[in-house]
Amino acid sequence: MPAPDASATARLAVFAPLENLGRAETISRRLADAISLGLLADGEQLPSEPELAAMLGVATVTVREALSELREQGLIVTRRGRGGGSFVRTPEQEQTAGHLRRRLRDLTVADLRDLGDHYSALAAGAALLAADRASPDDLDRLGEAAAAFADAAGIERRHHTDGRFHVEVAAAAQSARLTREEIRMQTEIGPLLWLPGADAHTQQQLDRQHREIVAAIAAEDGERAARLARRHVDEAIERLVELHLGLVAPVDTEQ
């Protein structure tokens, strides 16, 4: 059963034909990213191997290899017999706060700013195109995604709903490539962005920014939508840089 809050455009990006055919690791990574972000729901049955091969434009044996890798990662389970198939298994808190902090500590400020520049440009470009291309259904999805964040309880849920909001902006740009890149960025940097947490003031600020981005897209004001999306990402990166500096400061002091 499809994830109830995933737009058709976002899901099509997951199952679009591969740019480089015959790469099982590309398939497994794309599906793993979609599972991590919640675009494929826990317990959802994947298409059959022949169906996946046709959708992705690869041989069935390549799909079989990719699914085997996902099983080893614990991201899908396969059941035989009537009603069988491959089913999504969303991992429990796979990356603990401690693991993420170690990962953040290993990065440099230059790494974070480089990631931020890439993500900021991506978010701004998606918002700009969405303002020009979004359909009424896309606008409804964006409004629902913004509302889901406002109603989310707990850091993990807010992290997921924030990520889904950005994926929906990219999907509203009507670009499968942009949507896939947004999904990739969410899985690469999204968990880190929520390490600093969010107090009530920051949550209200993020909620307001989401709604302002949606309003600008609905008004077909691409320049404003892009500017707001860029600021939204830039401020998140600055919070992450501050946390990073706090983590490495004790080590620097001892040296």
* Segment 156-192, tens digit of pLDDT: 788 889 989 999 999 999 999 999 999 888 877 887 8
CA–CA distance, 246 with 248 (Å, rounded to integer): 6
Which pLDDT value is given to residue 136? Answer: 96
SS3 category, 88: strand
CA–CA distance, 129 with 175 (Å, rounded to integer): 9
| Among the ranges given (14-28, 50-64, 183-197), the one the predictor scored with the smallest mean pLDDT | 14-28
Average pLDDT, the chain: 85
pTM: 0.71
Which pLDDT value is given to residue 2? Answer: 46
Which pLDDT value is given to residue 253? Answer: 41
Which pLDDT value is given to residue 238? Answer: 94
* Secondary structure, 3-state, 153-222: CCHHHHHHHHHHHHHHHHHHCCCHHHHHHHHHHHHHHHHHHCCCCCCHHHHHHHHHHHHHHHHHHHCCCH
Q: All domains of the chain, ordered by start, with CATH? A: 8-88 (1.10.10.10), 97-254 (1.20.120.530)
**Which tens digit of pLDDT belongs to each residue from 81-100?**
888 899 998 766 544 566 67
Which pLDDT value is given to residue 1? Answer: 47
Minimal CA–CA distance to 232: which of 247, 217, 248?
A: 217
CA–CA distance, 78 with 86 (Å, rounded to integer): 4
Q: Is the pLDDT of residue 196 over 70?
A: yes
| Token pair in block for residue 250 | 């004790």
